Chain A
């Protein structure tokens, strides 16, 4: 079944042997072996919490295994820190960005570069980097401040940074999770160029089968901290891969929410707002969301979706226009009062915005309850009650966590996302604004989250779903629309549009105006 693997004679360029790693209460990796051949794209596939990121962090020297060894070109290596890994030509692009937001792209790229000691030759660096960008067909403004970039652009900066440092083995942890479909295509093209033209070896961590299919030659499937399979991609089927990932036949929950459109909950009128760069990026948006209705808003990142969500949550001021929640004008109401009125907000950035890494899960639940008199009688946090609620959320939303007092930083991205959604939904919000709620989730978790959105709808919540995944939007929404350059191209009932049309709207191609 895997003839290439058996016939390969040279030692693997990168190998891990018997790697085990435990965190308080979790065995993240259990005697894991990994072998990556030179000049290939090797995919590491697995569900959320399968141990993929932990394994990569070990290869990159960020954390140390409890047991096991790492071999580079047949020689045992022990990286004390990522610095050692970089010096050996191994680079890693993490799931969360590790850039200095206040610095320019160029400054970030130069930071930590072996040549950047003492004096910085920014002009020379700029020329070299421009050449590098041209080579891989990347468009990033080297003079822009990192905090102004979209998630996709930031990721490119990190990849460029690794390439600029001259790495020969590039580890990419879920590189497509923050990207829009066209960005994903561009990334995959660039990866192929990297491997074919420059002989770079790529280790690609993902849970997306199409990504594996598109670029990888071999794949290691992890399940619950163990190697479930090591396969040649061309010799396996999607079904087989999914089975290895999940360990059993997949049964996805399906919820049929009845269509009972009630009165208007959210009313947005001619709303405009600036983005972080000071550019008017939300330009006269109007929409209504009714009780028991899901409105799906598609759009390529950077077309005003984030600003829309933040203005609705009271985290960004409106320049003009009006927002009414349950008939009340909340345009200038602070965030806290909106929560009290029945807003529920699931932001796209679950680690940075929706949770505090250093606090326990119980205390993180407090983020959505510290103002609730039932949980804070006489100004004192009712810990027992918060703990009960947290346990309930962990169970209902099938969050993999050893106990409710573990710090949020120990949860995998997907588990954290389920927890955030669970926290917000536990408030039974009248209006739920969910921004990229399934970003970075595996198939099972994503469908679970979608089912939860439908349940919220069935309970009578008004749901505004902002997503880039057209399948998702069409799977749950009653009405669909697309934002392009801060305006709605269209907003129509689901049966009046199809994914192709909405895809065209996302790209700015004119459809019907709503």
Chain B
């Protein structure tokens, strides 16, 4: 576009500053809510009422806030599970499978302790500790398989993780449905309920996995910015050839990022099914929670690889999914508005990233050349 001697143009920009990124994120949220307000328009109430109910429940109502925080921790753990391999240039799409593996492993501990038959069982600190440990180990093993296949045989990690998701989904089904080892006494297609003794303590109303997730986010960011190990992973992710030149072992990097990623997914499975008050079992609709884990991918991408930056993202997504579902019931809104908001949010965030890559510039334009060029500077 041309205005007088000036021209207005859109150009590619350098990396945006942190305040600009934060402002972009806020604008993206506002835009998503504005767009979603159409969905909340009913003859009885406008979008304002709906948002008041949704946000009120998600962030101000004691039971709603609890659900939001538990879900946010789950999303944060899934975010870490995706983010660590991503920094190494690898895509962990196996979050649901690793979550299921973690859940099964966690329930295996009370199962072996005889909790299913007795309905109670006795558990000491060892049993309580071994549940998250088993979950992390199970997720890590599943991740290790992916990492090894990737590093040793160059098998695409996306395909392997997707297939493992399916395998693990049906494995859980086999364990909790009729005749399965973890089947509940009522045979309603869900697992046995965790006896009191196997439920972790809730300091400040939160399971230990919540504190672990927050601490892990800080540690992960620190390791990536300061530690030599994090540097090696980043280098490998940005330029595998240069990493090999520098003596960084591709097998070790691929293996470790997937082991760690898998471990965090496994912990996420433990957190949601065995540590969050009110559930304490693998429910019939475990697939819903598996799908929810994919929001970890969105959080990691929106936070641009920063684990701490993903914390507010996880809270927002958790709050909107919990509050949206509540408002949907309270206002008899059409089914699926909660997912619609999440979808819109993703779209606006992606759009804000796109906008960040460009900038608007004013330029002065120069006169056109004549047929006889001016005498060259170097000519004598």
CA A65 – CA B370 in complex, angstroms? 21
Tell me if B377 and A229 are in contact (CB < 8 A): yes
Q: Separation in Å of the B357 CB from the closest CB of chain A?
A: 14
Let me know if B14 is at the binding interface, CB within 8 A.
yes
Interface residue stretch chosen among A177-185, A346-354, A438-446? A346-354
Q: Are B380 and A227 in contact (CB under 8 A)?
A: no
Total contacting residues, chain B, CB less than 8 A: 41
- B345-380 residues at the A interface, CB under 8 angstroms: 361, 363-380
Q: Report if B232 contacts A (CB, 8 A).
A: yes
Interface contact B227-A35, CB-CB below 8 Å: no
Q: Is A315 an interface residue (CB 8 A)?
A: yes
Q: Is B238 interfacial (CB-CB < 8 Å)?
A: yes
Complex partner residue of B245 from A1, A71, A231, A315, CB under 8 angstroms: A315
Q: Does A228 contact B (CB under 8 A)?
A: yes
Q: Once bound together, how far apart are the Cα atoms of A336 and B246, in whole Å?
A: 7
Report yes or no: A69 in contact with B366, Cβ–Cβ below 8 A: yes
CB-CB contacts below 8 Å: B206-227 with A: 226-227
With a CB–CB cut-off of 8 A, which chain A residues contact B44?
none
Contact B242 A66 (CB under 8 A): no
Q: Which residue of A lies closest to B364 (CB)?
A: A67
Contacts of A313 in B (CB 8 A): 245
A6-B372, A366-B231, A376-B228 known, 5 other contacts, Cβ within 8 Å: A230-B379, A345-B245, A354-B242, A356-B235, A357-B238
- B241, CB-defined interface residue at 8 Å: yes
Contacts of B178 in A (CB 8 A): none
CB A261 to nearest CB in B, in angstroms, measures 29
Q: How far is the CB of B228 from chain A (nearest CB, A)?
A: 4
| Whole-angstrom CA separation of A35 from B364 in the bound complex | 21
A321 at the B interface (CB under 8 A): no
CB pair B244–A11 under 8 Å, yes or no, is no
* Shortest distance from the beta carbon of B17 to any chain A beta carbon, whole Å: 12
User: Which of B12, B232, B235, B248 counts the most A-chain CB atoms under 10 A from its CB?
Assistant: B235
By a CB distance below 8 angstroms, the chain B residues around A336 are 247-249
The answer to whether A353 touches B369 (Cβ under 8 A) is no
| A278 CB–B CB distance under 8 Å | no
Which A67-120 residues have C-beta < 8 A from chain B?
Answer: 67-69, 71, 74, 76, 78
Scoring B residues 234 to 277 as 1 if CB is less than 8 Å from chain A, else 0, what string do you get?
A: 11001101101111110000000000000000000000000000
What are 28 A-B pairs with beta-carbon distances under 8 A?
A12-B369, A12-B373, A15-B373, A17-B368, A18-B366, A35-B369, A63-B12, A66-B361, A66-B363, A67-B363, A68-B366, A221-B378, A335-B245, A336-B249, A338-B247, A339-B247, A347-B245, A349-B241, A354-B245, A356-B238, A356-B239, A358-B238, A363-B231, A367-B235, A367-B246, A370-B235, A380-B226, A380-B227
Asked whether B367 lies within 8 Å of A17 as measured between CB atoms, the reply is: yes
B378 → chain A closest CB, angstroms:
2
Q: Which 3 A-B pairs have the closest CB atoms?
A: A229-B378, A336-B247, A230-B376
Question: Across the interface, do B368 and A371 meet the contact criterion of CB distance under 8 Å?
Answer: no
B378–A231 CB distance below 8 A: yes
- Chain B residues whose C-beta falls within 8 Å of the C-beta of A510 in the assembled complex: none
**B229: Cβ under 8 A from any A Cβ:** yes
Pairwise interchain contact B377-A2, C-beta atoms closer than 8 A:
no
The yes or no answer to A64 lying at the interface (CB within 8 A) is yes
Say yes or no: A6-B375 contact (C-beta < 8 A), given A355-B242, A357-B239, A367-B235: yes
Expressed in whole angstroms, the minimum distance between the Cβ of B77 and any Cβ of chain A is 24
Contact of B241 among A230, A345, A352 (CB under 8 A): A352
Is B9 interfacial (CB 8 A cutoff)? yes
Q: Which residue of A lies closest to B2 (CB)?
A: A78
Asked if residues A229 and B242 are in contact (CB atoms below 8 Å), the reply is no
Contact with B376, one of A24, A231, A353, A363 (Cβ below 8 angstroms):
A231
Q: Is A137 located at the chain interface by the 8 A CB criterion?
A: no
A67-B364, A336-B249 known; A229+B376 contact, CB < 8 A = yes
Q: Contacts A2-B376, A335-B245, A335-B247: A17 and B369 contacting too (C-beta < 8 A)?
A: yes
Note all chain A residues with C-beta closer than 8 A to B247.
Answer: 314, 334-339, 371
Check A5–B379 contact: CB distance below 8 A.
Answer: yes
* A327 surroundings in chain B (CB, below 8 A): none
Contact flag A228-B238 (CB < 8 Å), given A67-B363, A380-B227: no
Q: Check if A381 is an interface residue, CB within 8 A of chain B.
A: yes
Closest to A24 in B: B14
The verdict on A367 contacting B242 (CB below 8 Å), with A12-B373, A230-B379, A334-B249 known, is yes
Contact A10 B371 (CB under 8 A): yes
